Structure 1
């Protein structure tokens, strides 16, 4: 009896690969390569520094090279393509399925793309050119053209014989797409129906006519949301005239979900998910310089606000000690709201109909938390510096800043999305600017009015 083994997590897989590469044994390295699935090989390659990455890549057989390439982020894939023998790459394309080939064509740089397109047959070339004509982050760019269609007026027995004659079904097929004589979408027939009903039953009696078909123009984010809401395993993709172009399966959607999560996380730092973790120092510095510059400008703005109250700070030095508390609390409260709203926008859960209600709710949360923590900081500051007036002003400034942070946490991402700017990319910088400026100005302004 074979004992089942648990799959390695990423940390253990990377540790094992690193240890084998450190030994330098070609036999062990080749055994490692043979033991990895394409996605695992891509994971290890992305986590390695450039030199061991190149060494491992050269040992990957051409038969799986293409499958590994489509799992890599664009920057790493481009770097590895530069050191790949053209004959090996051509051999890799010959062994790939249609879906994988389309994904690979999106990665290939232009000179190499033309060579690959010339090397395939006319039929496949036309098919791939059509696939490449769809925008990348849409249902058309996501779909597979490998579909099974049947007619509504045939029996289950006819469908079963048709499938046996074909000898194969596309991977991930959970249902067959039903079309009319003009290839227009009519509904779907679950594969399970073939096994559980009388073979003489017609497809029209069992097919699901409520099953959705989506336009090839639909953004991939919206497609993922549809799969999540309706618990779908696959969905047909339709042309403007209702004809079936292809289908999207749940494994395609898992890739979209992962990419969206990576994008949101990296955008918070002004980066993209396609960046190589071990990119050259100069290239990495250039990418990050822009957002460091933007942050510097916002820091100068906050410093200018502080400078406006220089005389106040000189007379009451304790204000300089307490100022960061107001700005910090506002920044944290605003980030909580911002994260909630950015997620809601990404999932399509926020619209003109509920944005106002969400705004009032978050302001109420900011007001309640502001009241609670204003009392706490007022008491602590009053006891600490033996001055209840400073404690009261600190509490009042914090209350105002937390309400302002809640308002900004909702308003900033909604407005950014309306003007076509990614809220995850720019929202954090703008929010920090608002909470710092409002926090400093409120605290120092109140101190100037009531303590001097």
Structure 2
């Protein structure tokens, strides 16, 4: 089925389920959900208000609940899990991939986690302990231990017979990993190589012994950059002694890239990247109020600076009309630089070697923009008010604020990064404060000095 038709079909299904649910046709909804893939069930849950979501989850087949939980966003999944019995949570996580299992277990309160762990059998308890032994947002937290390993001294024919006996391969398998007797990673062999080379050759003769393995402690952002750079489908994960621990597949990396993009976008507005669109009103209000409070403080600070020049504004009312132009232009220019730098940091383009050059470049851009727009605004104001001095005043303020915006836009995220503070979350607030204060002070301060008698 073509992708466009498949998407339309999924949307039609979702619409029918929603309509049946609102009509109270619960048995019909249960049957429909039983024939829907987990990804569509997850989309339906995320697209439903809180009360409808609770009812829908109760109608999902228990055999599909584990896979559905894997597809849900963190905020929605946590809300559903909070209403589940620990035994049901344990049952739903049985077939989960290791990385998804770790994410679910980490979201549980300690008391619930202990109950869920107690409801698991010994094998699942050991797996849960293992996946939680690695820090969040590292290769260890992303990897799956479901791998196929082979020895270098066997022939390809032996490997093929071994795979036929297994009957199936782990999902996303594009290569087999070669290890020695101590389970040390030696290299890999592509499935294409295995199928096209002579079955009499040994693994050692055809394997890639220069393939790159991912350290288990590497950050997930760096892992994603490696996948992007090398066009990997999967990659092995090793410890400090080169022991093979597991593998990371491209589907997990797609999730990382998507989450990082959402995080940057949502953080600019002070929102959690996993914010539930249909979360209860009070819960959403609490989350957004924090950001609104921070912005109110910055606005009060800007107003406080403007208050120093209250007498100036009273004598020259035109300054109140023009006062918003300079901070606004500085804010836009600074946001352009801030966004560019945050993106460069996210994709790994910015490092210690090129930071000084980048700072110099953005300062130069700020100065050039300052000259261009200072001349333009000075001409407009001078002709509008027939006041050449007023034009020069706003030109100077515009130049200073665009220069400050360029400096702040490039240095703020770099400084925040060194302080281990998320630049996407805090950078915009600090930048707005800088451009507002500098813009108001430069304009009204210069006007007070040159225009008042």
Q: Does the alignment reach a TM-score above 0.5?
A: yes
Query: Is residue 261 of structure 2 the alignment partner of residue 282 of structure 1?
Result: no
Conservation of the 8 A alpha-carbon contact between 1:155 and 1:200? yes
Q: Residue 360 of structure 1 corresponds to which residue in structure 2?
A: 360
When structure 1 is superposed on structure 2, of 104-113 and 433-442 the one drifting more is: 104-113
> In structure 1, how many angstroms separate the alpha carbons of the residues matched to 2:13 and 2:224?
29
Q: Residue 263 of structure 1 corresponds to which residue in structure 2?
A: 263
Q: Residue 320 of structure 2 corresponds to which residue in structure 1?
A: 320
Query: Is residue 160 of structure 2 the alignment partner of residue 168 of structure 1?
Result: no
Q: How does 1:138-149 map to 2 (within 5 A)?
A: 138-149=138-149
Deviation of 1:147 (Å): 0.7
> In structure 2, how many angstroms separate the alpha carbons of the residues matched to 1:263 and 1:4?
28
Q: How does 1:172-251 map to 2 (within 5 A)?
A: 172-251=172-251
TM-score, normalisation: structure 1: 0.93
Deviation of 1:248 (Å): 0.2
Q: Residue 6 of structure 1 corresponds to which residue in structure 2?
A: 5
Q: 1:329 to 1:168 in 2, by over 3 A?
A: same
- Secondary structure (helix, strand or coil) at the match of 1:7 reads helix
Conservation of the 8 A alpha-carbon contact between 2:144 and 2:246? yes
TM-score, normalisation: structure 2: 0.93
Q: 1:369 to 1:11 in 2, by over 3 A?
A: farther
> In structure 2, how many angstroms separate the alpha carbons of the residues matched to 1:200 and 1:5?
46
> In structure 1, how many angstroms separate the alpha carbons of the residues matched to 2:206 and 2:307?
75
Deviation of 1:228 (Å): 0.7
Residue deviations 1:395-444 (CA, integer Å, cap 9, x gap):
22112211110110000000001011100110000000000001011111
Residue deviations 1:300-335 (CA, integer Å, cap 9, x gap):
211121111122212211011011010000000000
- Secondary structure (helix, strand or coil) at the match of 1:58 reads helix
> In structure 2, how many angstroms separate the alpha carbons of the residues matched to 1:86 and 1:418?
41
Deviation of 1:126 (Å): 1.6
Q: 1:375 to 1:5 in 2, by over 3 A?
A: closer
Q: 1:52 to 1:175 in 2, by over 3 A?
A: same
Q: 1:48 to 1:3 in 2, by over 3 A?
A: closer
Q: Residue 422 of structure 1 corresponds to which residue in structure 2?
A: 422
Deviation of 1:207 (Å): 1.3
- The number of equivalent residue pairs is 451
Structure 2's unaligned 5+ residue stretches are none
Deviation of 1:293 (Å): 2.2
- Secondary structure (helix, strand or coil) at the match of 2:247 reads strand
Q: CA RMSD in A?
A: 2.3
Residue deviations 1:345-391 (CA, integer Å, cap 9, x gap):
11221112111111111122222222222222222222222223222
Deviation of 1:118 (Å): 3.2
Conservation of the 8 A alpha-carbon contact between 1:66 and 1:104? no
Deviation of 1:278 (Å): 2.9
Deviating above 6 A after TM superposition, structure 1's stretches of 4 or more consecutive aligned residues are 2-5, 9-13
Q: 1:91 to 1:130 in 2, by over 3 A?
A: closer
